[in-house]
Amino acid sequence: MAEIIKGPLWPARNQSADAGAGSIHDDDTAQDLGFRGGTVAGDVHMNQFVPVLLKVFGNTWLEQGNLSLQFRNPTIDREVVQVFVEPPEESAKQCRVWMEREDGLLVCEGTAAVGDHSQSVLRSRDLRGCDPSELKILNKLHPGLSLGTYEVTTDSAKQFERFDAELISDPLSWYRSESGSPWGEIVAAPVTLIQYLYGFPVAALMPLVGESVGLFGAIEIGFENGPFLFDRQYRVESEVVAVGQSPQTEFVWYDSVAYEGEKVIARMRMQSRAMKNSSPAYQ
């Protein structure tokens, strides 16, 4: 077995701490629901995997790579976390990845790959939902429901703001400058990619969701003709894949795809959870 590659210890930032009451990233709201404080979003943690994945797969990862994560235990602002990657066997194109808090608590786990993404931890998961009549928060959602098609022009301003405020975990210089970039252009960090593939569809999703506090349960990002770049016009299409529930949450899975013309640039699979104990429907 190849030696496990470790990333640096890094104090991840809760960049949504000012989201306000009603957000899982707000200290008071999170503590009322039994968390230690406002949680660091999963997409922030995804940034920290990239430098290690580039060591394992090379720059091809930003062109044809995949990162598929299930979130296990939330962290709060400035808690120190570390990425681990178990390199694939010589003939394999997929490997196991995970993140731990400094004290060893498992934060998230999953797979990373280049090329074939079909066997990722989330693509391999059974997403079959429950009887829709059982749902109280997400009962307006169903598989195949379109969350819209959006024509978007990517802008680097928000990424630069995050970079300059040191909110991007283990950042690449390519997130701020084209100097040294293999593509001669600034590339999007995972959090920025998700901003576009999540931010637009969620605006369509939220009016269909009953009152509740939400959080990410799992996220997968994948590139087919990457990297995801700025000052580009992309078409983002999104639809619901499955809905279901656990003892503490109801959840929806949905996919988003970014196209440039007819060419797929990047994909995202997201599991968003709605906490039952935050909803009047369960009171």
CA angle 130, 134, 138 (to 5 degrees): 85
Q: What pLDDT, on the 0 to 100 scale, is given for residue 264? A: 98
Region 149-169: what's the mean pLDDT?
Answer: 96
DSSP designation for 19: G
pLDDT at 121 over 90: yes
User: DSSP class of residue 64?
Assistant: H
pLDDT higher than 90, residue 51: yes
3-state secondary structure of 118: coil
Distance CA 165, CA 173 (A): 14
Average pLDDT over residues 234-245: 96
- The per-residue pLDDT for 31 is 78
CATH number at 197 reads 3.10.129.10
Question: Is 80 exceeded by the pLDDT of residue 94?
Answer: yes
Question: H or E stretch including 51?
Answer: helix 50-57
Q: 111 pairs with which residues across the strands?
A: 68, 96
Structure token digits, residue 282: 């369960």
Lowest mean pLDDT among 1-10, 136-145, 225-234: 1-10
Q: What is the pLDDT of residues 179-204, one digit of tens each?
A: 999 999 999 999 999 999 999 999 99
H helices of 112-218, where? 157-164, 190-205
Does an H or E element contain 53, and which? helix 50-57
Banded model confidence at residue 1, pLDDT cuts 50, 70, 90 = low
Task: Identify residue 196 by its one-letter amino acid code.
Answer: Y
Please state which of the ranges 21-30, 106-115, 121-130 shows the lowest mean pLDDT: 21-30
Would you state the pLDDT for residue 92?
Answer: 77
Q: Is the pLDDT of residue 238 over 80?
A: yes
Residue 174 confidence (pLDDT): 97
pLDDT tens across 13-49, in order?
A: 887 666 656 677 776 776 777 778 778 887 999 999 9
Domain that holds residue 63: 5-122+131-282
How far apart CA 192 and CA 43 sit, in angstroms, is 9
Which residue in 71, 61, 59 sits closest to 24, CA to CA? 71
- pLDDT given at position 13: 86
Tokens at residue 229, please? 């770049």
The pLDDT value recorded for residue 35 is: 72
Which of 177, 173, 213, 171 shows the shortest CA–CA distance to 191? 171
The answer on pLDDT for 72 being more than 90 is yes
**Summary mean pLDDT of the chain:** 92
- What is the signed CA dihedral for 241, 224, 56, 192, rounded to 10 degrees? -70
Rounded average pLDDT over 265-270: 98
In Å, what is the CA distance from 47 to each residue of 96, 144, 226?
A: 17, 30, 16
pLDDT confidence tier of residue 76, bands split at 50, 70 and 90? confident
- Quick one: pLDDT at residue 123? 95
Q: Do residues 172 and 7 touch, judged by C-beta distance below 8 A?
A: no
Total domains in the chain come to 1
Q: Please identify which residue in the block is written with the tokens 């296990």.
A: 72
What does the pLDDT average to over 248-275? 97
Given this model, what pLDDT does residue 22 score? 67
- Give residue 27's pLDDT: 67
pLDDT of res. 42: 79
Phi, psi torsion values for 52, nearest 5 degrees: -70, -40
| Joined tokens for residue 144 | 């195949």
CA 180 to chain centre: 26
Q: Tell me how far apart the alpha carbons of residues 62 and 56 are, in angstroms, rounded to a whole number.
A: 12
pLDDT digits (tens, 9 = 90+) for 201-219: 999 999 999 999 989 999 9
Q: How confident is the model at residue 160 (pLDDT cuts 50, 70, 90)?
A: very high
- Is the pLDDT at 153 greater than 80? The verdict is yes
